[in-house]
Structure formats: C-alpha cells, structure tokens
Chain A
Amino acid sequence: MRYSFLSLLANAVSGQRLWTPAWRDAAPKPSYDAVIVGGGGHGLATAYYLAKEHGLHNIAVLEKGWIGSGNAGRNTTIIRSNYGLPGNIPFYEWSMTLWEGLERDLNYNTMVSQRGILNLYHSDPQRDAYARRGNAMRLHGVDAELLDREQVRAMLPFLNFDNARFPIQGGLLQRRAGTARHDGVVWGYARAASRLGVDIVQNCAVTGFLRDGERIVGVETSRGPIHAPKVGLAVAGHSSHVAHMAGLRLPIESHVLQAFVSEGIKPLIPNVITFGAGHFYISQSDKGGLVFGGDIDGYNSYAQRGNLPVVEDVCEGGMALMPRIGRLRLLRGWGGVMDMSMDGSPIIDRTPIPGLYLNAGWCYGGFKATPASGWCFAHAIARDEPHPAAAAFRLDRFATGHLIDEKGVGAQPNLH
C-alpha cells in the first residue's frame, strides 16, 4: 500500500486493518543473481539501488538477525557532508543529495531533518583546521559557514561561554546537515527494495562461502547454501569476521562505540552540536530525548556494549559544554560494534577474490553514508568498476600510501 494521507485516513476508519507488511519476510531461494550480506542500512540500500538503478531484481539481502539490528539501529542519526579531504567530500555530498530526496524516492518518511550541525572550536589551531575543512567543502560546492564566538552565542545561548576550561571560540556550521530517523531509513529501504522484488531474508547468517576455484559463487548460511555469482559484504562491525571466511585479512579492527539517550523533554537543542574540547556531541530526537555520544571505548570488542569510564567521559563533556543538562537523566546507553579502518575512511571496492565485493570500514560515520554507499556499492557490483564518487575508497590504498586520514592519527583505529 502506498503511504499517503489518504491511506492513513482509510485505515483510521477501518480500524487500521488495511495495512500490509512493510516488506516481505522472504525465505531464501537456492540461487540469486547477487546476494548482499548484511541487512543494515548499507546492505538494504545497495539492494534497492541494484534493483532500481541497475535492473537486478533477482537478488537477496541476507541478515543474520532482524534488519536494522546492527549499527543502523543504534547510531546517533547524524547526517552531514562536512568532510575535509578530497577523497571524502564528493561522496558524502552525493549522500546528502540523496538524503534530500529520499522520502519521495522511497515513499517513506525517514524524517530527514536538516537542522544543521555545529562543530565548536576552542583554539586558534582548531579554528584554522576548521577553516581549511570548511573551505575545502565550499570549493566542492558544499555549504559551510565559519561562526565566531558571538555568532555561536546568538545561536545557542545556553552553552557554557563564561566559565569554561576551554572557552568556545566559534564553530563550523553546515546548515544542510542534520539528522534522519535511523530505524525509518532501514524500514524505508527494505520496503522499497521489497517492492522491487528484492528478497529480504532475516535470521539467515552467512557462515561461509561457496567457491569455484578462486572465485566465490555463493554463500553458506544458517538456512542452507545460496548460490550467487556476486556476493557483496555490508556487514559493518563484522567485516573482518566474514571476510576471514573468504581468506581475506582486512585493515580493520572492531571497536565499540556507545551512545545514550536522555528522558524525553520539551525542545531544548535545536541542532546537532559537537564539543571541540572533549568527547561529546548531542542532538534532540523528535520524541524529545537528547541523543548523545562521545569517544569509542578504545579496545577491540564484539560485545555490543561498553564500559563505565566512557559514559562518565561523555557526560563530563556534556556538563562542561551545557551545564543545564545536569538534572536531566540518562535513560539508556547502548553500544555498536564498528569497523574501525586504519585511516578512518571506508572501503567500497572489489576484493582480490573474484565475485566478492566489499563495503566496510565505516567507523562511527557510516549512517550518513547510507544512501551513497548503497548507490556506489551497487554500481561497483553491477558494473565491476568503482563509482567516481567513491573512487578513493580502495582496498589497496594502504599499500600504495593513498590514505584518507581526516584526523591524521595514522594506523591506530582507536584514535580515529
């Protein structure tokens, strides 16, 4: 059923009985033209664009749990394209463009909210680094503004300006950035892909690969073997694990990032704010909860949960930046297992193994990439060549030295 005000009305009078499943909960077929492993945002978007842009309809997304159970369902929903390096900017901007039309494309309200993101700076060198980044964005046609302290104060008067250990000096603002409803993105892509014939198979864990010599010709799963000449991996925090089944060792470590939500309150925080002198960023969900997070826990983990020191560190940042949230309560914290790549940037590429394609290494920033990641990965799978917007995201860049290290911290994933 197409979603519209009319369909809502029809259901209102029918006692909500006309609704049908948002997507088909498919059973796996023995073979497909391509399978995507991982039913997160990236996997589902890839399937959707494979079907829509490349005409591949006999495809499946294989998800070991329920769709959206990974990082797509546990991120802090920030979308932005305020990157600084040429390898990144066009890609994230393409993603931003896709976000801007997503709801109508999918006929699903993913609540893309362009409320803006403000990255605060607290020193001259930090201002200079933001200026470098903001100007790089502008040269790529991406919106960016550099605010001084008084402009920030006018915008967010409740921040701590006057008693700060690291006083706010200004901020880099991207107005087109914002948030999107994380679960809605998963469900929207699933519904749209399902309508184009894609099989969405839940509770189907990939446990191995079917090989014909060198070439990969399908996957072993908890629900039996599935043949496909092309297999795309989009398993976020589990890339090393799944790639290992194919004999690949990746430039990736799995780390846990925690996030938190407060009790719901009336509107307080109008946009997305990042603290530049501590590990803290925050926005407010449409439901009223303050959604916030900070640094990763800092050690390899597949546990999907974190520890107390980071909770404290994040809240210390929060209190330093906006001491009026002291009496608001932290309602829930959770963690996600992320692929931390060795230069902090992703990989969308063919692998050295014929038939196997890789979409990985998104670190803590892949939610915003969801549309473009799906778009470009679909392109790579369908055409066997990189999409121009993602051409820098090569797997061999670590060997050649063409790194995309936005933070400049080098091959230490827990610092990215």
Chain B
Amino acid sequence: MRIPCPYCGPRDAHEFTCLGDATLTRPDPAAPDAASAFHDYVYRRDNPAGPHRELWYHGGGCRSWLEVTRDTRTHAITDARFAADRSSAAQGTEDRP
C-alpha cells in the first residue's frame, strides 16, 4: 500500500502509522454531556466497509499527520491531505459514510 503524502510524495505505508477514524472530533470537555461524548469519541467507531477517512502519521518521513481517504474493502486511496489543514467548516459538516 502506498500513501501519497502531500509533502513527501508516495511512500510505502510501512513508513506511516495509522490511528483510525479521522471524522471524530474531540468533544468540548466543558459540555454537560462531556462524559458520554468522550465515551463515543474514545471508543465508538463507524468502522465502515467502504470509504474511510482516517489519520496516518508519517513518522518515517515528514512527521505530518495526514487525513487519508481509503476504501477498507479494496485499500484504494483516493485522497491524502494534511490533518492540520482541515478547515473548521469541513470538520462538522462532512457526511459520514
């Protein structure tokens, strides 16, 4: 599997580590439902069979955290971008697979 790092170019996946679901957003710790929101954030996953947005860390290269869109049935990668560049608008409204 090769991940097209937006900085380094395509690299073998073994240079990266995967952290999983990138659609999750760390909840507001001050919200009244923080306990259950954190439970969902830390533990529950959509785990889709199909396109999956996920976080990969390019530890063997530029040390960027990337948000990669990858199909979990075929491993085909359709997008990879810097996680830091996620616009705050996109964070909330992205449709979930």
> Which of A240, A298, A307, A399 meets B45, CB within 8 Å?
A240
Told that A250-B45, A307-B1, A398-B43 touch, could you supply 6 new A-B pairs with CB distance under 8 A? A244-B46, A252-B47, A300-B54, A309-B12, A309-B13, A342-B43
Chain A residues with Cβ under 8 A from B1's Cβ? 299, 307
Complex Cα distance A303/B76, Å? 11
B-side contacts of A249, CB under 8 Å: 40, 44-46
Contact B18 A298 (CB under 8 A): yes
Assess the B72–A303 pair: CB atoms within 8 A. yes
Chain B residues near A298 (CB-CB < 8 A): 17-18
**Known A309-B13, A414-B20: A251·B45 in contact at CB below 8 Å:** yes
Q: Once the chains bind, are B75 and A303 in contact (CB under 8 Å)? A: yes
User: Known contacts being A250-B44, A307-B13, A411-B43, is A302 close to B19, with CB within 8 Å?
Assistant: no
Specify which chain A residues have a CB less than 8 angstroms from the CB of B75 in the assembled complex.
301, 303, 307
Q: Is there contact, CB below 8 Å, between B70 and A299?
A: yes
Q: Is A309 touching B45 in the complex (CB atoms < 8 A)?
A: no
Q: Could you jot down 26 A-B contacts, CB within 8 Å?
A: A240-B47, A249-B46, A250-B44, A250-B45, A251-B44, A252-B45, A252-B47, A253-B20, A253-B45, A254-B49, A298-B18, A300-B47, A300-B52, A300-B54, A301-B75, A303-B72, A303-B74, A307-B1, A307-B13, A307-B75, A342-B42, A398-B43, A399-B36, A399-B39, A411-B42, A414-B20
A interface residues, how many (CB within 8 angstroms):
25
Interface size class of B (residues with CB under 8 A): 20 to 34
Q: Is A170 on the interface with B (CB-CB < 8 A)?
A: no
Is B63 part of the binding interface, using a Cβ–Cβ cutoff of 8 Å? no
Q: In whole Å, how far is B9's beta carbon from the nearest beta carbon of chain A? A: 18
Chain A residues positioned under 8 Å from B39 (CB to CB): 398-399
Select one of B14, B54, B72 contacting A302, CB under 8 A: B72
In chain A, positions 254-305 with a C-beta closer than 8 Å to chain B are: 254, 298-303
* Bound CA–CA A238/B47 (angstroms): 10
Q: CA–CA, A398 to B35, complex, Å?
A: 11
Does chain A have a CB within 8 A of B73? yes
From 357 to 416 in chain A, residues with beta carbon under 8 angstroms from any chain B beta carbon are 398-399, 411-414
CA gap between A153 and B8 in the complex, in Å:
47
CA distance A237 to B43 in the complex (A): 17
Q: List chain B residues, Cβ under 8 A from A413.
A: 20
Interface, chain B (partner A; CB < 8 A)? 1, 12-14, 17-21, 36, 39-40, 42-47, 49, 52, 54, 70, 72-75
Q: Is A52 an interface residue (CB 8 A)?
A: no
Chain A contacts for B47, CB-based, 8 A: 240-241, 250, 252-254, 300
CB <8 Å contact, A302 and B45: no
* Interface of A (DSSP majority class): mixed
A: residues with CB less than 8 A from B are 238, 240-241, 244, 249-254, 298-303, 307, 309, 342, 398-399, 411-414
Closest to B73 in A: A302
Q: Kindly report which residue of chain B lies nearest to residue A339, judged by CB atoms.
A: B47
Inter-chain contacts of B72 with A (CB < 8 A):
254, 300-303
Which residue of chain A is the closest to B56 with respect to CB atoms?
A: A299
**A-B interface, 4 closest residue pairs, ranked by CB to CB distance from nearest:** A240-B47, A309-B14, A251-B43, A299-B18
Identity of the chain B residue whose Cβ is nearest the Cβ of A304 in the assembled complex: B73
Residues of A within 8 Å of B20, CB to CB, are: 253, 300, 412-414
What CA separation (Å) do A298 and B20 show in the bound complex?
Answer: 9
Q: Across the interface, name the chain A residue whose C-beta is closest to B15.
A: A309
Taken together as a complex, chains A and B put the C-alpha atoms of A414 and B45 apart, in Å, by: 13
- Bound CA–CA A249/B39 (angstroms): 12
Would you call A302 and B42 a contact (CB within 8 A)? no
Least distance between B18 CB and chain A CB atoms (Å):
4
A301 and B73 CA atoms in complex are apart in Å by 6
B36 partner residues in chain A, CB cutoff 8 A? 399
Nearest to B45 among chain A residues (CB) is: A253
